[in-house]
Amino acid sequence: MITLRNICKRFGDVPVLRDVTLHVQKGEVCVLLGPSGGGKSTLLRTINGLETFDSGEIDVGGIKLTPGKGAAHEMALSQIRQRVGMVFQQFNLFPHRTVLENVTEAPIHVLKRSKDAAVAKARELLARVGLAEKSDFKPTSLSGGQQQRVAIARALAMDPEAILFDEPTSALDPKMTAEVISVMSDLAAEGQTMIVVTHAMGFARSVGHQVHILHAGTIAESGPPAQIFEDPKSDVTREFLAEVRKTG
Amino acid sequence: MAARPEEPSLHRVRHCDLLTVIVIAIVSIAVAPTVHAGEALDAIRERGTLRWGADMEGGGPFVFPSPTNEDSDRVEGFEVEIANLLAERLGAEAEFRQNPWDKLPEVLNGGSIDIVLNGYEWSPAWAEQYGTSIPYYVYELQLLGRKSDDTLLTWDDLLNPAGGPRKVAVLGGSAADLYLQSLDLDHIEIVLYDGATDAMQSVKNEIDDLDANLQDLCVWTYYQDGFPDLRAVGEPVSRGYYVIFVRQDEPELLSEINEAIIDALRDGSLREILSKYGMWNDTQAARALETNADGGFTGDLLSDDDGTRGRGNFSLRGWDVIRQRGGTLVRAAGMTVLLAALSMPLAIFIGLIVTLCRMYGPWFLGNPAALYVELVRGTPLVLQLYVIFFLLPEIGISVPPVVAAVLGLAINYSAYEAEIYRAGLQAIPKGQMEAAMALGMSKWMALKRVIIPQSTRIVIPPMTNDFIALFKDTAVCSVITVVELSKEYNIQARSTMAILELGLLTALLYMAMSYPLSVVAAKLERNLQKGQR
């Protein structure tokens, strides 16, 4: 459903992505792991065009994105963004709108859905993430975990074919992390296609279908979580896992 | 009154802005007549109006707001009556056009008035640039001192260096200014003023150690009752001529005006007008053109006036003057509100566009936008107003003064607004734009629905400051002939001498305009804050 082919990217002279190829099936939970600075977030953000790339090709459900500019490029980006949602580390909710408005904003103004339909759907989604009673609050009056669940509802409101999670629990304490992981696990169980950049090993191991270890801009190792965690093949993976176990 | 266009020597630049001098120089070089030569007379007859330019701020006895009439547009003064006399001769109605005195010649070239009739003194320099009529008044200068000052009783007391250093106030650039300069005496310091009565006021109050004022005789005659502490010192000096200006290449109009003046001298109607203002004296009588019904010379006809009839009435003070002139000031405040209320939204709009181009547009929009901000912020408002009002007609775009004023203010403030918005937009975290884009919004929609609404809260306080500043900057628009509150105050204060009363009222009116604004802004700010939290 999502395919990245030979993606290369440099920041000036420094290569950040080196010939990365990745394939994500429909319904798959794809987890990107690896040490900081390995290129996980950058790779994720190239998929919906928040980062540019220098060469290679991205294919999202048949929509092709190549490096470049111009109207065709913008059109492809717009289509991809309407099909692929995103959840950020810092939530990035719109502080001037209520929780409900955050969720209805894009369906009404981007997808041009009727307000009634958008509101009904938003209420259903907020109930699903356990925040029905917070609809009329401003995001800043919510806890971090609650805000992140609203952000997930906001992404779901677009009926996305896939959702990109960029370290969704890194700004949260363990209790709030658990809330968010629980919602994400539910989504995975329902067959939502997800690409997740995370440091939450428990999630990667129990929910992930495919795990990719990114190091220095390349994929060092890929495989199902059981194999990656029990029987790592590459030194990079072993070092990374050892480091993670040591710190926490 | 009575200035010459030449020789802006350095020590005279005290009360006049050097920049203004430069701009006037540029403008007067650049502004060539935009009307066709030789057609003024026909145009006046066809239109049925003689548009004559003068400045009410000059005060009595020239042109001043009517004290008896609530209608603020009604003017009085001997030049008003001369204008009526000329218009009648040309078969038209006289139509008074208010303009700043020092801009009258440029305005004449611009074509929006037909003649300048406002105490302009003939000089060879003016005669080179304009058609100058024969004089309608022969002026002289009167030295004024304090009654309490026994060291200044004659001209000799002033001219003799043994009397010690002297400070003399004059109207900057006036004939009095030039006369004192021509004396070239080291012990006399010339102090320049903008208004005729301001100089008298300052001598009376010994401001800046002033000893004397050299004043147009007719001004002194008109205002002397308002200054009982001053007296005339010695005989009048330095004769010169008040003449009417027409554009060059209008000999037909000029000759009609000359004929009208000669006729008015012959039949005594000019004597009647000048007598009414205490201005008919031996000097005028020496022109000796007046004849009786049979065409015989009448001999010396001196003023049939007892010398008090043509003087201004300055007994009006306190509440009475507020009651009589307050309405006029309030109406002028209406113009101030109009200018501010029209230009601020425009400034906000332009500023926003400029900022969006600069921050989010491609380079070919962003670079000009940045240049625009620097250019507009780096040049004074008065210069921008000049360019719009006096230079745009050069490329065929002629705008009415109020429109030019609104445009000038809007452009000037748009640069400041643009910088405020830039700061406001930059204060919004980058993640907001990313979140909006990730939801499929276009950049424009993201700005409109996500970024700009959040910036509003940040930019409201500095915008309010700017709006209040703009209210006060409207005063600058008087340089392009707009009469708003400050200009009206000058006009009224100089014609009534009620400087304090009308000054307080003017200050009160400005306060009344800006204070509610602060209150509303504070409330708005609180609401927005609440909405955010």
**DSSP states of B220-247:** HHHHGGG-TTEEEEEEEEEEEEE--EE-
Decide if pLDDT at B490 tops 90.
no
For residue B451, give the chain A residue with the closest CA: A94
Given CB atoms, is B530 within the 8 Å cutoff of chain A? no
Check: CB of residue A204 under 8 Å from CB of residue A188: no
Return all residues near B465 (Cβ < 8 A) that are at least 6 apart: none
Contact residues, chain B, for A99 at CB < 8 Å: none
For residue A75, count CB atoms less than 10 angstroms from its CB and return exposed for 0-12, middle for 13-18, buried for 19 or more: exposed
Question: Could you tell me the CA-to-CA distances from B511 to A153, A216, A246, B318 in Å, in that order?
Answer: 51, 65, 69, 20
Decide if pLDDT at B68 tops 70.
no
B111: helix, strand or coil: coil
Return all residues near B493 (Cβ < 8 A) that are at least 6 apart: B499, B502, B503
Query: Beta A218-223 vs A210-215: how paired, if at all?
Result: antiparallel
Check: CB of residue B304 under 8 Å from CB of residue B290: no
Given CB atoms, is A48 within the 8 Å cutoff of chain B? yes
Decide if pLDDT at B345 tops 90.
yes
What is the side-by-side order of every strand in the sheet holding B245-246?
Answer: B93-98, B49-54, B115-116, B245-246, B131-132
Contact residues, chain B, for A44 at CB < 8 Å: none
Decide if pLDDT at B206 tops 90.
no
Given CB atoms, is B450 within the 8 Å cutoff of chain A? yes
Residues 54-83 of A with CB under 8 A from B: 78, 81-82
Determine the pLDDT at residue B12. Answer: 35
| Residue burial B404-417, b: 16+ Cβ < 10 Å; e: rest | bbbbbbbbbbbbbb
Decide if pLDDT at B225 tops 90.
no
Determine the pLDDT at residue A91. Answer: 94
State how far the Cα of B404 lies from the Cα of B402, in Å rounded to an integer: 5
Amino acid in the structure at residue B51: R
Query: Beta B93-98 vs B230-242: how paired, if at all?
Result: unpaired
pLDDT band at B318 (very low <50, low <70, confident <90, very high): confident
Decide if pLDDT at B6 tops 60.
no
How many contacts (CB atoms, under 8 Å) link A and B? Answer: 63
Q: What is the mean pLDDT of chain A?
A: 93
Whether B445 and A106 lie within 8 Å, measured CB to CB = no
Determine the pLDDT at residue B16. Answer: 42
State how far the Cα of B263 lies from the Cα of A48, in Å rounded to an integer: 89
pLDDT in tens, A62-71: 999 999 888 8
pLDDT in tens, B139-155: 999 999 999 998 999 99
Does A99 or B73 have the greater pLDDT score? A99
The encoded tokens of residue A61 equal 């459900």
Least confident piece of the model among B49-58, B161-170, B343-352, B494-503: B494-503
Report the DSSP beta bridge partners of residue B144.
Answer: B213, B232
Least confident piece of the model among A147-161, B29-43, B112-126, B178-192: B29-43
State how far the Cα of B190 lies from the Cα of B210, in Å rounded to an integer: 10
Whether A78 and B431 lie within 8 Å, measured CB to CB = no
Q: What is the mean pLDDT of chain B?
A: 84
Determine the pLDDT at residue A246. Answer: 80
Determine the pLDDT at residue B13. Answer: 35
Does B492 or A220 have the greater pLDDT score? A220
Interior angle at CA B11, CA B10 and CA B15, nearest 5: 105
Amino acid in the structure at residue A243: E
Over residues B43-71, mean pLDDT: 83
Task: For chain A, give the number of residues.
Answer: 248
Determine the pLDDT at residue B32. Answer: 44
Q: Is ipTM strictly over 0.85?
A: yes
Beta strands in chain A (DSSP E): 2-11, 14-24, 29-33, 55-60, 63-65, 84-87, 162-166, 193-197, 210-215, 218-223
**Range picked from A150-154, B105-109, B156-160, B161-165 for highest mean pLDDT:** A150-154
Determine the pLDDT at residue B10. Answer: 35
Determine the pLDDT at residue B458. Answer: 86
pLDDT in tens, B262-310: 999 888 899 989 888 888 888 888 887 887 777 777 776 665 555 555 5
pLDDT in tens, A36-89: 888 999 999 999 999 999 999 999 999 999 998 888 888 999 999 999 999 999
Spans of chain A below 70 pLDDT:
248
Over residues B358-376, mean pLDDT: 92
- Closest C-alpha to B240, from B169, B188, B197, B179: B179
Q: Checking phi first, is residue A114 left (phi over 0); if not, alpha (psi -120 to 50) or beta?
A: beta
How close B26 comes to chain A (CA, Å)? 47
Determine the pLDDT at residue B127. Answer: 87
Decide if pLDDT at B316 tops 70.
no
B380 prior amide bond cis, ω within 30: no
How close B437 comes to chain A (CA, Å)? 8
Over residues B81-90, mean pLDDT: 92
pTM above 0.90, yes or no: no
Decide if pLDDT at B433 tops 90.
yes
Over residues B360-381, mean pLDDT: 92
Determine the pLDDT at residue B325. Answer: 82
For residue B423, how many C-alpha atoms fall within 13 Å in the half-sphere facing its CB? 12
**Range picked from A39-43, B29-33, B123-127, B519-523 for highest mean pLDDT:** A39-43
Q: How many helices (H) and strands (E) does chain B have?
A: 21, 12
